[in-house]
Structure 1
Amino acid sequence: MTEHKEGAGLHELSSAPRQRMSDYQTLAVNARMRILAVLSAAGVEPDAADELVGAVEAGAVAGAHCWVEELPGSAPRAEGAVYGKGWDGGISAATNSLIKTADYLYRQHGRARVASSLLAFGGILYRRLETAEPAHETDAAGTAVPSPAGVPATEQEQDEVSVEKPLTAATNAADAGVPDGVRALATPPAVGPTDEHDAIWLDDEGRVWSDYATVPVGDDVLPMVWAKDEPVSRRKVEEHGSFAAIAFCSTELLSTFGQPPADGAAPYATVWLDEEGGFVWADYPTADPNEDLVIPLVWDQEQTESRGDLERDGGFVFTRIGWSR
């Protein structure tokens, strides 16, 4: 059940409290993307934009902290002293959690660059799909007729399709004889083509990571996940740029929620490098092994980690699989 509040710019929200909190989170993510895009267009540097947005978000949590901080001692007296002690203890735990949340939000970095990557990817994909020429066949009168999507227009194209079957995670693993799936498929140079390229890594658990540039130079990395975009056909995107398979990774680690995209989907996905745009993509496996859907990867919105610390303290093993920009 939802309720709609009248007024310019107000959105429909659920009447269920928990769902309404989820609605607010969705609105906040969309608003943050728009704000970061506006700041980027105005020439604000990514780190400065992150600090501005982080200050606003941390301030909102600090406001909630002020309200909760006034609640100790307000437990119903009829419930007794033990109840009141538990009430105050719960409030203390909540205020401490809010302090940690505000600190975390203020320190977050990388979200402005994520927004820029998504905007840049959207422009590239739009231009590619707009300029793609649909396959066509000729009718009895000699007029070119567009073919239905996914249907080869000529016998030659049919032969090409039969030879070049969709290279999904399932077929990759089967062809390579590695049922476990997690492995690097490329050995890139130790130094990137330019200073603007970031190293892409695969850890031994099957998660994809990317370097995060810092000043002074460090070894900060961020995990990569599917962007919040609809999957697209890899073949469609490849019409104006080639893809190179660089690794097999864990499908569930590509999702922010740690869940496979569909029941029966392959547990491992192929990681691709767009050799023209420099973007990293990954398969979006479904229950249909013939699907060739992919989604670009972006930095997960988490605090950066030191790759050296992860290797030393966490026992991670990283393998460089490519360079992106």
Structure 2
Amino acid sequence: MSTEQYDADAYGQELARISHHQHEATDARFTVFPWAAVGIGYEQADDIVAKLEAGAVAGAHTWISESSAPHGSEQRFEDGWFAGVRDVASYLLRIADTTATTGRGRAASSAMLLAHLQQPPSPAPARGPGGDPARPRPWSWTRRTS
């Protein structure tokens, strides 16, 4: 069991950094995927992004795989350390393999989303009595005259 105390503030900072990286990745996708509309094709854009993402995970795999237990650790601790490293490295490899082979269709859907976001806003809905937007009445509220 770890003697290190849980630091909620440090964990919050880690989450903020993760969020930053995720937003940067989304921005990068929105930069690459429109290229598909001007010549490289949606499948090729998907392949490029999938390879970049898989490469990033593979880099994390390498970094984890090359880590070692703190100098002077007992043999039992080192054995546990390396077992954990192997488990994490195997998991990262599975993620890299999956990332490299999935993600088809993301460029096309991102292009559609980007086109939708670039459309001018719709006109404001008509206002009904009392200033509420006019809404069709549900069938149960309508009066039947027959």
Whether the TM-score (by the shorter chain) exceeds 0.5 is: yes
Counterpart in 2 of 1:107?
101
Q: Secondary structure at the match of 1:36?
A: helix
Write the distance in 2 (CA, Å) between the matches of 1:161 and 1:69: 62
Q: Secondary structure at the match of 1:90?
A: helix
Paired letter, 1:161: A
Write the distance in 1 (CA, Å) between the matches of 2:65 and 2:71: 19
1:161 aligns with 2:111: no
User: Which is richer in strand?
Assistant: 1
1:57 aligns with 2:53: yes
1:20 aligns with 2:17: yes
By relative contact order (CA 8 Å, sep 6+), the higher-ranking structure is 2
Write the distance in 1 (CA, Å) between the matches of 2:115 and 2:15: 34
5+ unaligned residues in a row in structure 1: which ranges? 1-14, 135-148, 176-325
1:85 aligns with 2:65: no
Bigger Cα Rg: 2
1:81 offset after TM fit, Å?
1.4
The one of 63, 69, 72 equivalent to 2:65 is 69
Write the distance in 2 (CA, Å) between the matches of 1:79 and 1:119: 53
Paired letter, 1:106: A
Write the distance in 2 (CA, Å) between the matches of 1:67 and 1:161: 59
Check the 8 A contact 2:51/2:100 in 1, yes or no.
yes
The one of 114, 117, 122 equivalent to 2:112 is 117
1:25 offset after TM fit, Å?
0.9
Write the distance in 2 (CA, Å) between the matches of 1:27 and 1:16: 17
Write the distance in 2 (CA, Å) between the matches of 1:90 and 1:19: 26
In the TM superposition, 1:1-325 aligns within 5 A as 16-37=13-34, 39-71=35-67, 74-108=68-102, 109-123=104-118, 125-126=119-120, 129=122, 132=123, 151-152=127-128, 161=134, 164-165=136-137
Write the distance in 2 (CA, Å) between the matches of 1:119 and 1:96: 36
Check the 8 A contact 2:54/2:96 in 1, yes or no.
yes
Scaled by the length of structure 1, what TM-score is found?
0.35
1:118 offset after TM fit, Å?
0.6
Paired letter, 2:84: G
Write the distance in 2 (CA, Å) between the matches of 1:35 and 1:49: 7
User: Which is richer in helix?
Assistant: 2
Write the distance in 2 (CA, Å) between the matches of 1:66 and 1:29: 24
> Stretches of 4+ moved more than 2 A in 1?
76-79, 119-123, 149-152
5+ unaligned residues in a row in structure 2: which ranges? 1-11, 141-146
Check the 8 A contact 1:47/1:112 in 2, yes or no.
yes
1:95 offset after TM fit, Å?
0.7
Tell me the alpha carbon deviations over residues 276-303 of structure 1, each in whole angstroms, 9 at most, x when there is no partner: xxxxxxxxxxxxxxxxxxxxxxxxxxxx
1:119 offset after TM fit, Å?
2.2
Aligned-residue identity in percent: 29
Check the 8 A contact 1:77/1:84 in 2, yes or no.
no
Check the 8 A contact 2:36/2:44 in 1, yes or no.
no
